[in-house]
Amino acid sequence: MPLNSPDPARETEETQRPSLPVTIISGFLGSGKTTLLNYILSEDHGSRVGVLVNDFGAINIDAKLIVGVEGETVNLANGCVCCSIRDDLVAACLGMLQRAEPPDQLIIETSGVSDPVEVANTFLMPELQPFLSLNCIIGVVDAEQLPSLTDELGVLARQQIRVADMVVLNKVDLVGTEALAKVRALVHQIAPGSRIFETHQARVPLKLMLGAGLDEAGMQHPVACADPVDHADSHNHDFDHPFSTWHWSCDQPLSLPRLRRVVESLPNTIYRAKGIVCLEELPTYQIALQMVGKRTSLADTALWGSQPPRSEIVLIASRGGINSEALQAAFENCIGTGDESQSPILRLKRLLETSPAEIT
C-alpha cells in the first residue's frame, strides 16, 4: 500500500519521521498475551502506543478485552497475521502511520496460533524498512501449559518462543518450585540467549518491553538470522494450521450455571474458549469468559451501557475437533429461562430487587 499524502508539508514530515518501532507479542493460546498488552496499556510510560490485535476466530474477542485504547486499536480477525491476512497486517500498520497523530510504538498481539517468524519477516521486508522497524519479539509462555503441549501443538508453541528476544514465563502462580525449574530449563533450551522474565499476570519491566532498554539489554533479533528456507520447510502456510475455530453469538441473556456446565464439559479437543457474555444473573455487566485447557473463569469487565447486550463466544480446537451441531445445541441450551431453582445468584438477585414491603 503506497503512503500517498496529498499534502507536501505532511509528505516531507513523513519522509523525515524515523521508522515506527514494532513489537510483536507472540505465544500459545491462552498464555497471557492480552494480559500483557493490557498491562502495558494501563501503565503510565509516556509512550503513545498503537495496537494491532489478531484473533484467529471470526470474532475478535481480544480486541474487546483490551483496555483504554479507544481509537488506537486495529482489529484483525478471521485469519492469522502470519499467513492468510498478512497483507491486511501491512495495510493496518501503514494506516497507523497515516493518522493525524501516529503512535510512537506499535504493538502487535498475534493470535495464539500464529508463527512469529512470518510476522517478523514481514517487517524485515526492505520496502517497509523506512516506515516500520522490528523492535522486539516477546514470547509469552504459560508455565503450566508449555510442558504438556505435544505433537503439532508442541512444535508451534516452541516455535513461538524460539525466536523471542524476551520470554515472559507467565502464570508462575500455577506451578510449584520444581515444575517452575523444569519449565525454565525447557525455555532456556528452546530459546538459548533470550532473556526470561518469570511473571504473574504478565507484570514485566516495561522499559525493556517498550524498547527503551533493548540496546542496553544487548538483545538481538534471532529472527533476522533465521533461515527462511529452513523455516518454510518446517511450517506450511496458508490454511494449514492444526486448528479449527467455531463461534456463536446470541442476543438473549445466558444462564450462568448452564454456561458453566457447558464450558466445563467441552471435549478435550477444544483448547481455548473466550468470549464476552451477557448473563441473566448480572445483565448490566459484560462478563469475560475464559477457558484455557481445563481452567475456566468468568469476570465482569464493563457495563453494557447503551450497547445492546450480546454474547459472543469463540472456541479454538484441534483440526477436526469441532462438532458444530453439538456445540450449537449445547450453547443454545445456555439461554436463560428465568428459572431460579438452578441458579442461586439469580435467586439472590431477585431477593435483593424485591422491596422489603413485598417480602413481608
Ligand X SMILES: Nc1nc2c(ncn2[C@@H]2O[C@H](COP(=O)(O)OP(=O)(O)OP(=O)(O)O)[C@@H](O)[C@H]2O)c(=O)[nH]1
Q: What is the spatial distance between Cα 8 and Cα 106, in angstroms, rounded to a whole number?
A: 25
Give the angle 332-318-65 at the CA atoms, nearest 5°.
60
Q: Is 274 in the site for ligand X (CB under 6 A)?
A: yes
Q: Is 112 in the site for ligand X (CB under 6 A)?
A: yes
Of the candidate residues 86, 158, 171, 241, the single one contacting ligand X (CB under 6 A): 171
Q: Is 22 in the site for ligand X (CB under 6 A)?
A: no
Report the nearest approach of ligand X to the CB of residue 284 (Å).
22
Alpha carbon 111 to its chain centroid, in Å, reads 6
Of the candidate residues 23, 26, 35, 73, the single one contacting ligand X (CB under 6 A): 35
Q: Is 160 in the site for ligand X (CB under 6 A)?
A: no
Q: Is 29 in the site for ligand X (CB under 6 A)?
A: yes
Part in contact with ligand X (CB under 6 A); list of ranges 22-30, 43-51, 147-155, 338-346: 22-30
Of the candidate residues 13, 43, 87, 173, the single one contacting ligand X (CB under 6 A): 173
Q: What is the spatial distance between Cα 25 and Cα 23, in angstroms, rounded to a whole number?
A: 7
Q: What's the DSSP call for residue 342?
A: G
Q: Which is nearer to ligand X, 30 or 79 (CB)?
A: 30
Taking CB atoms, the residue at the shortest distance from ligand X is: 112
Q: Which is nearer to ligand X, 108 or 346 (CB)?
A: 108
Q: Is 33 in the site for ligand X (CB under 6 A)?
A: yes
Coil, strand or helix: which one is 60?
A: coil
Q: How far is CA 341 from CA 223, 346, 347, in A?
A: 57, 9, 7
How big is the chain, counted in residues? 360
φ, ψ of residue 132 in degrees (nearest 5): -135, 135
Report the nearest approach of ligand X to the CB of residue 177 (Å).
16
Edge-to-edge strands of the sheet including 285-292? Answer: 243-250, 311-318, 270-277, 285-292, 295-303
Report the nearest approach of ligand X to the CB of residue 218 (Å).
27
In one-letter notation, the amino acid at residue 325 is: E
Of the candidate residues 67, 94, 155, 174, the single one contacting ligand X (CB under 6 A): 174
CA-based diameter of the chain, in Å? 78
**Which residues inside 49-78 make contact with ligand X, applying CB under 6 A?**
62
**Which residues inside 198-227 make contact with ligand X, applying CB under 6 A?**
200-202
* Residue 93 CB-half CA count within 13 A: 29
Determine how β-strand 166-170 pairs with β-strand 132-142.
parallel
Binding residues for ligand X, total number by CB under 6 A: 22
Q: What is the spatial distance between Cα 103 and Cα 21, in angstroms, rounded to a whole number?
A: 10
Residues β-bridged to residue 246: 315
Q: Is 247 in the site for ligand X (CB under 6 A)?
A: no
Part in contact with ligand X (CB under 6 A); list of ranges 27-35, 114-122, 223-231, 339-347: 27-35
Report the nearest approach of ligand X to the CB of residue 16 (Å).
36
Return the C-alpha cell found at 135. Answer: 523492535
Report the nearest approach of ligand X to the CB of residue 108 (Å).
12
Q: What's the DSSP call for residue 140?
A: E
Q: Is 103 in the site for ligand X (CB under 6 A)?
A: no
Interface residues with ligand X (CB under 6 A) are 27, 29-35, 62, 112, 170-171, 173-174, 200-202, 272, 274, 290, 292, 297
